[in-house]
Amino acid sequence: MVSIFKESVKDALYPNKDGVLSTRNKSFIVHPAEEMSAKEIKKLRNSLHLSTAYFASILAVNIKTVQSWESGENSPSGPALRMLNMIKKNPDFLLDMKIVEETFV
């Protein structure tokens, strides 16, 4: 019984029929994250009405890191830059992904 179920799930995930797109034959193009200037980062943080400390907490970086980005001393890269891009394109991303939660006091 278990092996029949296992095969059914496998067939559903990886159909062998012609013309059916499966997870085995999909391809994706990963676009590079767009660079952000110090001014853009600060503008993004301010548009979200977040303190530097809270913004750093959301991005899982040190507050000094955010300060160095906003001063132009350093630039974000890797996952932090990708997340900044996602937040910039969709400010509700933080709520949608339950990274932050709105509370009313």
At 62-104, the pLDDT tens digits run: 999 999 999 999 999 999 999 999 999 999 989 999 988 888 8
Q: Identify the residue with better confidence: 11 or 71.
A: 71
pLDDT at 13: 61
With a threshold of 0.85, does the pTM exceed it? no
Structure tokens at 19: 């013309």
pLDDT at 67: 98
End-to-end distance of the chain based on CA atoms, in angstroms? 54
Second-level CATH architecture of 38-96: Orthogonal Bundle (1.10)
**100 touches 58 (CB < 8 A):** yes
